[in-house]
Amino acid sequence: MRNIGKFTIPKLFVGTIIIALLVIVYASCTFEVDDISIDTDELSNFNTNWYYTNQGNRVFIPTTPTSVKVPNKEKLIIHKQLPTHLTQDEVLCVKTNHQSLEAYIDDTLVYGHGLNNKASFGKQFGTIWNFIEIPKESAGQLVTLQLDKPYNQSKELISDIKIGRKSAAIFFMLKKNYHLLFSFFFTFQLGVLFIVYSWILKNRHVDFNRKSFLYVGIFSLLSAIWMITDANILQLFTGNIIVIYFLSFFSFMLLPIPFLLYLKENTKHGKKLLDYLCLLFIASFLINIGLYICNVLDLIQSVVMTHILLIITLILIFYICFKEALTYKNKDMREIIWGLLSLFILAVMAITNFYVKISTDNSLFFQYGVGIFILLLAINTIKKSIALLNKRTEAEIYKELAYTDTMTKLSNRAAFEKEMTHLEENIQNYQSIGCIVIDLNYLKKANDTYGHKEGDKLIVGLADCLRAACQHRVPCYRIGGDEFAIILTNKSEAEIQQILNQIEEKVANQNKSNFIPIDYAWGYTIEIIKTSKEVSVYTIFNEADTNMYTQKMSMRKGRK
């Protein structure tokens, strides 16, 4: 057991984990057991050999996703033969991007999305996965999909189309978006953590980069909401597409504002420009909402304003950050610049994909950029907070040294004067103020006879007795070489007398083992504060000091 220090518990714990992992790896490679994995089925691709009719001729679509040119005010109607063998509970999975959809099997309507929408404004089709149930007896029949483009674009987008059991379709959605689910939970928890931490700092009246934590937290929460709404996962839990639609667009349009506020907290220059950019994003949001409510432009159409403003903002922020780092030598900009660079590149890729329609996952690149950006912002905020904490701790240490007597570890004369000034300025806030002044007797004689080392022991010994008697309830000060003071607020004369008795008891106990006994004189004064009477704490101290010297002289006469 004497050598247990060489093998600490944490090291033993790490070794135990390594042994456990080795056993698991060995067992997984050598043991033969029954396979208990759950059969989730697989969705089959159903994206080839679709066709549409153009001037009486069939035009085959090699594969989806793709875009097809369609005249204005006309629907895109595509056909394909269903498989000759179907099982129970099969669905046709079709993703629509702000389109209405009708599905027919041999001219019988079996599904519709966006056909019966009723709203005061807007079209609210959204981006969703449509699960079209296919009866088993429909095997080999013709399936027809009608896609309508409500915004008069020149091309109609056909997304990926799959077929399989409904359970497999749901599993496919979860599997396809597992990375976004992970990003959502991580980003959401990070946002909540930072906001709660900011709230704790505010309640404790501590400002370790508090506003930066708050703004990163809000930015993370908005990012998490946008990610989960853009992943089509929420339609598994709610059938109200308008809630998902609004959450997605509103969170995206408001997303830059908390970051701009964060940047304002962490830069010394360019604050006015950042304020203007915040106002521009707020104005853009309100204009987009206004156009939407007035049925002028839908959110998917007016979001181009946000895209343009976002690119311009990223360029301006680059300028601010590089100037801050190079001209003003702000070292905190490094993580922000790298985060902005990754966000800018991936944002341009995402916006390009949105307009060129390279794929149906328009925001995937931007989601990765936001994730990297949030992580770097979090690192930057934590690093800066640690630096501020270290500076504050260092400042508190210097402050403590400035107001602490190095020999006795009691508060010193500077601390005493500071407290006296505070009491003088706020004297009417107290019911009573008292002061005890204590002076060590025969210190010079002890120094001359036994040396200053023994004299110092007397000073430290008396200080220890004062500290023990007061028990940190009231402040004790060393205000001179052999003189001490105790300030008492809102205490009665009986309580002061109790402290004096405690001091006498502590000194008596210590003198049992002292080579030179501690001998001291004391005097005190207490004043009841009345609003009608002018009182000064300095007068109280002077009276206590006078009383101490009166006792000191009386003690000397008695001994002579």
* In the predicted structure, residue 359 carries a pLDDT above the cut 60: no
Across the chain, mean pLDDT equals: 81
pLDDT-wise least confident of 85-89, 293-297, 336-340, 491-495: 336-340
Would you call 127 helix, strand, or coil by DSSP?
strand
CB 305 within 8 A of CB 286: no
pTM, to two decimals = 0.61
Spatial distance between the Cα atoms of 483 and 441, rounded to a whole number of angstroms: 10
Please tell me which residue, 422 or 210, carries the higher pLDDT value.
422
Measured CA to CA in angstroms, residue 438 lies from 76, 255, 287, 476, 549 at distances of: 99, 64, 75, 10, 9
Spatial distance between the Cα atoms of 44 and 379, rounded to a whole number of angstroms: 43
According to the model, what pLDDT value does residue 103 have? Answer: 94
| Phi, psi (degrees; rounded to nearest 5) at 54 | -130, 110
Total count of residues recorded for the chain: 560
Spatial distance between the Cα atoms of 334 and 315, rounded to a whole number of angstroms: 16
According to the model, what pLDDT value does residue 354 have? Answer: 64
* In the predicted structure, residue 332 carries a pLDDT above the cut 80: no
Query: pLDDT band at 358, cuts 50/70/90?
Result: very low
Query: pLDDT band at 500, cuts 50/70/90?
Result: very high
- Give the burial class of 466: count Cβ atoms within 10 A of its Cβ; 0-12 exposed, 13-18 middle, 19 or more buried: buried
| Phi, psi (degrees; rounded to nearest 5) at 164 | 165, -170
According to the model, what pLDDT value does residue 41 have? Answer: 63
Task: Give the closest residue to 69 by CA, choosing from 354, 438, 357, 306.
Answer: 357
* Contacts (Cβ under 8 Å, ≥6 apart) of 194: 213, 214, 216, 217, 220, 378, 381
Query: What mean pLDDT do residues 237-252 have?
Result: 81
The H or E element that residue 369 is part of is: helix 364-402
pLDDT-wise least confident of 229-233, 260-264, 315-319: 229-233
